């Protein structure tokens, strides 16, 4: 499900749970960006940090995000560092 309004552009659960890992998807490849992290909404930007390092930053207006059908993560597409990126964030089972 994709979100239509700016307010609903991001799944709220993304900011309420711990993240087990963040994976970047590129043409035919997946690369783990980090494990054990969290996501924050600072101003108009999404910031994802894993093990104390920033792994993804994107402006809300430039991204498209959706909850995974399994409910165990979120799919985010947007500009990060001037490059178009596609990341999948998996939620931790531990709260």
Q: For each of the domains in the chain, give its residue range(s) and CATH number, in order of start.
A: 12-90 (2.30.29)
Summarize pLDDT for 4-53 with one digit per residue, the tens: 444 455 677 888 889 999 999 988 899 999 999 999 988 888 999 999 99
* Cα dist from 70 to 37, 45, 54, 78, 92, whole Å: 20, 26, 26, 22, 13
Is the pTM above the cut of 0.85?
A: no
pLDDT score for 8: 55
The answer to which of 4-13, 51-60, 67-76 has the lowest mean pLDDT is 4-13
């Amino acid at each position: 499900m994709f979100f239509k309004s700016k307010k609903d552009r991001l799944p709220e659960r993304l900011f309420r749970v711990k993240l087990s890992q963040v994976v970047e998807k590129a043409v035919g490849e997946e690369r783990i960006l980090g494990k054990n992290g969290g996501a924050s909404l600072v101003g108009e930007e999404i910031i994802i940090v894993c093990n104390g390092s920033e792994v993804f930053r994107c402006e809300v207006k430039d991204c498209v995000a959706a909850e995974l059908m399994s409910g165990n993560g979120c799919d985010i597409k947007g500009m990060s560092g001037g490059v178009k990126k596609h990341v999948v964030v998996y939620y931790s089972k531990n709260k």
